[in-house]
Amino acid sequence: MVTVIGLGFVGLTTAVGFSAKGHKVFGYDIDDAKAELIRSGSIPFYEPGLEEALHHGLSHNLEIVGESQLNRALVTSDVIFYCVGTPCADDGTANLSYLCQAIENTAEKFEGSLKTVVVKSTVPPQTTKRVIRPLLEQMGLRIGVDVGLAVNPEFLREGHAWEDFISPDRVVIGCDDKLSRATLNALYQPFAVPVFFVSYSAAEFIKYMSNTLLATMISFANEMSMVADKFEDIDVKQSFHLLSMDKRWSGTPASMTSYVFPGCGFGGYCLPKDTLAFIRKAEETGHHPGLLNSVLKVNDEVKEFVVSKIAAKVPLEETIGILGLAFKPGSNDTRGTPAADIIRLLMQRGYQHIVAYDPMAMSEFRDNYPFRVAYVNSLEEMSKSAKYLVVLTAWSEFKEKQHLFDEGSVLDFRYFL
């Protein structure tokens, strides 16, 4: 049996995913309202396929428990996954307090059979070795005797999380005890994919290496687009399409090559915070990662570039229509979205008339960013509200209905129209 602590994007996908593979799963979240919503069969974010799978799980082998039932879940489970957020602290380091508190609050309730504690939260290298393991040992739990301990990073894309979990390309597990290795190897057998066992720090490092590589690819593409703009006769969209046709990219999944395509900066919850946290962790060792610092610098500069391009074309008194508020299409996630920074910079420049539309993320954007921005409910309404339109998210709807707008009035910073 499995218990999943934390039912956010990663935790809920993990809980539903293991239940779909035939395991009995208990899910717990400290937020009672969120837990009740999930218990009713709804999810607090948009993720294709996940809600349908949740319904199936709830009617079979998935149980969302509250505080009063958590002890039963912990006692009867063999594996405890921790999917608790590790947000950036004020200095940019990963804030581990929520994760440590969750482990401390639950590990004291372990009874009966041996447990394997699995950290699925994104944590910097050496966190499990130097923070989590000592914490469990201070509670009197011997690793490999009383409990197993492992790190199992996730590699989920928002908008594709369900398919990524159910059909992963590989599973990475950091552990150094036989209990964890045997338990997790058996747990992942139904997935029929390679399972790689590495050290704690290697598993943690691989996760950060993955996210910072993606961030680097995005910043590379954005810097190249800014350089191209200095010349008068370069079609940026065409140039990047031709770049991706290089035979050395043959066999590379389209989802990977899509990161080497210009836009207006990376956002979301993971890439910005994980890149900064990894920089801070590297600095603790005495290494100053110049490339990754440049990645973040370019990510800020491209937003200034977007605003300068808008300002060069749009008079201050005109209304600007913002198309896209989510950080990526197919998601209602507005955490760290470039649209927020771009709107803020436009307002600082003196633009007072801004109208926004997103097919899915307007309520989330309003809740997270209290800008004085008007909102419309359709592209048809937008066509009547703003003369100049700025594309910040590559929603397919914008391409399908681009006939609603005058070609010369659209500034496409996703280069996809």
- CA gyration radius, the chain: 23
Question: Residue 184 corresponds to which amino acid?
Answer: L
Burial of residue 254 (number of CB atoms within 10 Å: 0-12, 13-18, 19+): exposed
Q: Give the torsion sign (CA, 82, 138, 200, 99).
A: positive
Cβ-Cβ contacts under 8 Å for 242 (sequence gap 6 or more): none
| The two three-digit tokens of residue 16, written as one number | 């539903």
How far apart, in Å, are the Cα atoms of 307 and each of 303, 335, 342, 392? 6, 20, 6, 11
**DSSP annotation of 114:** -
Angle at 207 between CA 204 and CA 213, to 5 degrees: 135
| The two three-digit tokens of residue 364, written as one number | 């989330």
CA distance 136 to 124: 18
φ, ψ dihedrals at 340, nearest 5°: -65, -45
**DSSP annotation of 359:** S
Angle at 29 between CA 25 and CA 35, to 5 degrees: 85
Active-site residue numbers? 270
Give the largest Cα separation in the chain, rounded: 71
Q: Which of left, alpha, beta for 22 (phi over 0: left; psi -120 to 50: alpha)?
A: left
Q: Which long-range contacts (CB under 8 A, 24 or more apart) does 33-42 make?
A: 34/7, 35/7, 35/64, 35/65, 35/66, 38/7, 38/12, 38/64, 39/64
Binding-site entries: 29, 34, 86, 122, 155-158, 207, 259-263, 267, 273, 328, 335
| The two three-digit tokens of residue 398, written as one number | 């914008």
Contact 88, 276 (CB under 8 A): yes
Burial of residue 71 (number of CB atoms within 10 Å: 0-12, 13-18, 19+): middle
Outline where DSSP puts E strands in 60-151: 62-65, 79-82, 115-119, 147-151
Binding-site entries for NAD(+): 29, 34, 86, 122, 158, 273, 335
CA distance 187 to 342: 45
Q: Which of 208, 129, 147, 145 is nearest to 172 (CA)?
A: 208
